[in-house]
Structure 1
Amino acid sequence: MSTLADLLAAHTGLTDEQGGHLQRLVGEWQLLADLSFADLLLSVPDADDPHGGFLTVAQCRPNTSATVLPGDEVTHVADAQLAEALRTAMSRGAITVDRGTAPGGTEVRRELIPVRFEGEVIAVLTQAAADTGQRVPSPLERSYQASAADLCHMVADGAFPVVEGNESGLSTPRAGDGFVRVDVDGVVRYASPNALSAFHRMGFTSELSGVVLADVFADLVTDAFDAQDAAAMVALAASGPALEPTGEDRVLRMEVDARRATVLVRAVPLRPRGVATGAIVLVRDVTEVKRRDRALISKDATIREIHHRVKNNLQSVSALLRLQARRTANPDAQTALNEAVRRVASIALVHEFLSGSVDEEVDVDEVVHRLLPVLVDATSAGAPRADVAVTGRFGVLSADLAMPLVMVLTELIQNSVEHGFADGRQGRIEVHARRGLRDLAIRVDDNGAGIPEGFDPGSSGNLGLQIVRTLVEIDLGGTVAFTNAAAGGTSVDIAVPVTADLGK
């Protein structure tokens, strides 16, 4: 499906700045749809249509009422009657009203709002809602619709959406989360039930109507600087001068900690026809979300600190074993201690990666590339240096799979170096990994002496191969097979089941 940018590029001659304004409008128009209880369509003159047709390039449905346009209208061309109404709205540069029939037969009232940018009308915003006749709206509906009317005039003036200077990744509260309408003096004229509940959780026990909202934030917010910023934000939005489109140093959205709750606050200035009429203040109680986030951050930091300390302890153990190996005169004991050093080092390396992970997962490819030089350089005395090549991809695995898998690779490479090339031949080891949707297949080949006649890896006294078989079959739930390669040397095939994850 084509994006808004694609459609604008293909069907209009708008500049980057004009296209950016329409992008910002579409990014913010869910609020307008919810407040007006209406579907929204964005239409632009189609440059490829010689008859002056209009193309729908974006659509939005309200969360506060049923849609009157259940079908996807994007890329649809307006019929002749609607196209004429759209041309009239563009030429007049003023909001016009007409009526029509929705695809399902519903009578629809449409407001055609010219979208102005830097004095030029570049598109038309259609606001379509069911024609409810003379039904008396509730106080909430009246406040919603009055605010929506102001926003529509701001769209026609080119003053909405307001560019904010603090786009720091904060989410946007919806009208249904908590809606407050304040006048130019910052006095609350209407507060929705959800907004009242949010302020009560913050510690405000009185009615909001008739209260200066900036004073409420100044009293409730625990941090003095945040309290000042929140109060100033509401006051500026309500009665400040017309806001410049740059958005520099403008704070219209922030998260504050009150006495009993954490809330996300957004202020939307209302400046229809350039005259300040107050502001909309949206609030969302995010106390429980922040509590869970803090708990997860604390837990994550604790787990990573544990991995870091385990790594440090294992490195200390490795250093002690290495020191003992140097002071041991017995060659067999020295070999055993050096093997223990490599095993401990491989486990420590996995813990090092886990100490920097936020989800208890390890990129095994990075571990293997870090581990191989250590293994090759630390082979037993007198053993020839082996060249090790790795192809394919291991991918990201959970810690309970990565740890034994790295140990298995350590043992296989170490075994090939020490036993496959014991006769002094030049060594080469190839490790190939193939990550599938449900399994991980690994093949380790060497050009060494191969498996001796009558040698049984399952009953061998070789500790390394016993470790490999135990880890693969029990810890990883996989299979391992040892064979002599056709061209000489040994081949080890390992198959391990993994959870399907296309992204890893």
Structure 2
Amino acid sequence: MADFSQILATRPDFDDADREWLHHLVADWQVIADLSFADLMLILQNGDGSFVVAEQCRPSTVMSLRPDDVVGLTVPDEHLEELHEAMKSATIFRSSSLRPVGKSMVCNVYAPIRRDGKTLGLVVRETNMATRESNGRYEKESIEAGKRLFEMIPRGQFPYRDTIMNQRHIARVSDGFIMVTFDGIVDYASPNAISCFRRLGLTGSMEGQYLSEVGTSLLHENDPVPETLPLVLTGKAPVDSELDANRSVVSMRSLPLMDADGRTGAIVLCRDITELRRREVELQTKDATISEIHHRVKNNLQAVSALLRLQARKTKSEEVKKELAEAQRRVQTIAMVHEGLSQTADEIVDFDKVISNLLRMALDLGSMEDQNITIDYIGKFGMMPAQDATPLSLVLTELITNCVEHGYEGRKEGHITVSVGRCGKSLNVVVEDDGNGIEHEEHNGMARSSGSGLGTQIINTFVKNDFGGTVRWEPGRSGGTRVVLDMTLRAA
């Protein structure tokens, strides 16, 4: 089934601005469907004169007439005459008769989508006439508000051209809405909207009061006041804001209502987000705590590394110095992983940045002053959780250290290539050098097949035990040694 973007792409008569306008419309038309208690459909005309349903919107405030998706379907020929008339209309066009949809009788009302003098298509409002029987004030006010927004479509006043939306928790019709006049006086407030303001500390009535005065009266001296709050409370611009008072937070959004002469009032949507804000604060505190823990672990490991370095300077045994230097390098490797984790809001680290620094550090520590050994990468590791990043870092630094110390013994120059292939949890890493070759390295004490060296044991242990993987030591394709790691990450 074709989606909205695919259908728009088949229209050569639409420019980018036309497509953007239609995308903007369907991104914001849910409020009309909810207020009107009606289904909406966006209908576009094809070059052959037929019409296709490009998008649909079901109301969240009442049972939908359209349980099945109709996007991509061609409108039956029996409706063509009515659709052609609606396309020619400059204002709202009403169907002359009711028609059955299932067991319901439906009235169609069409809003031509006008932009810069061109009719792009139609928004069809399908109203189940059963929803218009025995309505109370809430239903009447809601339907009237939806009608006024719907009538703004042919005039190019909806969707809004200069909407400013900053909040993540956008208020919806079902959360509560307030009708305000041109002057900003509350004409009607739904029960849910009144409940929102009760949480903020309101004790009196809202109707007949200036919404701006109601809102500001709830604020205390140190309560935050966003710049957009006055615009929302007066309904003068399509913006959103928050009202934070009495240890409660209400997200608000204003929808100015306009006729041919200009603004006539506004709809203000309200949503109590107190609990959502509380949870966000808890998560932020948790993230900050985790980040601080990683930072302190890094500092502690660097202290251990410094102690090992001091101990190495004091010892007279060259063999002991070498072993202490190896231990220092391994501690520093784990510290750098924690440094990367301390800079993120979660337990995920950009492994490519971390491993790039670690492997260059391993090169610098392992190579002699007169050696020039370079390294490059093919592919990307991607984002990785701490439980995988730490052991993998140790494995790769051990491989690079082995390459430098044994593969380039007695050589001045060399090049190491690290190739990475990742698909979800499956990870393949190939480390290849152009050094002396596997036979020479085994002859000089590496004993790769038996894994008797400490570095080799570390590699085999982590790859097999932590990742359930395999390690293969092979002759390089152009000399040197090639190590192939096949692993399964514990977390994708």
TM-score, with normalisation over the residues of structure 2? Answer: 0.86
Q: Is the Cα contact below 8 Å between 2:349 and 2:384 reproduced in 1?
A: yes
Deviation per residue, 1:81-108 (Å, 9 max, x gap): 4222222233332323223435535321
1:355 aligns with 2:355: no
CA distance in 2, matches of 1:108, 1:419: 82
CA distance in 1, matches of 2:158, 2:410: 80
CA distance in 2, matches of 1:412, 1:133: 72
Q: Is the Cα contact below 8 Å between 2:235 and 2:255 reproduced in 1?
A: no
User: Equivalent residue for 1:13?
Assistant: 13
Partner AA of 1:465 in structure 2:
T
User: Equivalent residue for 2:27?
Assistant: 27
Partner AA of 2:23 in structure 1:
Q
| 1:210 to 1:382, Cα distance in 2 relative to 1, 3 A | closer
Q: Is the Cα contact below 8 Å between 1:100 and 1:107 reproduced in 2?
A: yes
1:478 aligns with 2:468: yes
| 1:134 to 1:371, Cα distance in 2 relative to 1, 3 A | closer
TM-score, with normalisation over the residues of structure 1? Answer: 0.84
Partner AA of 1:407 in structure 2:
L
Partner AA of 1:139 in structure 2:
R
Alignment of 1:183-194 (within 5 A): 183-194=181-192
CA deviation after TM superposition for structure 1 residue 225, in Å: 6.9
CA distance in 1, matches of 2:5, 2:476: 58
Deviation per residue, 1:423-476 (Å, 9 max, x gap): 6697665544443444334444552424359987798763333433443444x1
User: Equivalent residue for 1:496?
Assistant: 487
1:300 aligns with 2:298: no
Q: Is the Cα contact below 8 Å between 2:447 and 2:453 reproduced in 1?
A: no
CA deviation after TM superposition for structure 1 residue 362, in Å: 2.4
1:61 aligns with 2:58: yes
CA deviation after TM superposition for structure 1 residue 356, in Å: 1.9
Query: How many percent identity over aligned positions?
Result: 37
User: Equivalent residue for 2:459?
Assistant: 468
CA distance in 2, matches of 1:424, 1:116: 75
What is the SS of the residue equivalent to 1:271? strand
User: Equivalent residue for 2:362?
Assistant: 375
CA deviation after TM superposition for structure 1 residue 125, in Å: 1.7
1:92 aligns with 2:89: yes
What is the SS of the residue equivalent to 2:68? coil
Q: Is the Cα contact below 8 Å between 1:115 and 1:122 reproduced in 2?
A: yes
| 1:28 to 1:489, Cα distance in 2 relative to 1, 3 A | closer
CA distance in 2, matches of 1:13, 1:424: 68
1:234 aligns with 2:233: yes
Alignment of 1:86-485 (within 5 A): 86-98=83-95, 99-102=97-100, 104=102, 106-118=104-116, 121-132=119-130, 135-168=133-166, 170-222=168-220, 226=225, 229-237=228-236, 250=237, 252-274=239-261, 276-326=263-313, 328-379=315-366, 386=373, 388=375, 390-422=377-409, 429-444=416-431, 447-448=437-438, 449-452=440-443, 462-474=453-465, 476-481=466-471, 483=473, 485=475
Partner AA of 1:292 in structure 2:
R
Structure 2 residues without counterparts, runs of 5 or longer? none
CA RMSD of aligned residues (A): 3.4
Choose from 61, 66, 76 the match for 2:73: 76
Partner AA of 1:233 in structure 2:
V
Q: Is the Cα contact below 8 Å between 2:226 and 2:241 reproduced in 1?
A: no
Q: Is the Cα contact below 8 Å between 1:383 and 1:424 reproduced in 2?
A: no
What is the SS of the residue equivalent to 2:10? helix
CA distance in 1, matches of 2:169, 2:184: 24
Partner AA of 1:467 in structure 2:
I
Residue range with higher mean Cα deviation, 479-488 or 356-365 = 479-488
What is the SS of the residue equivalent to 2:184? coil
Residue range with higher mean Cα deviation, 6-15 or 208-217 = 6-15
Partner AA of 1:230 in structure 2:
L
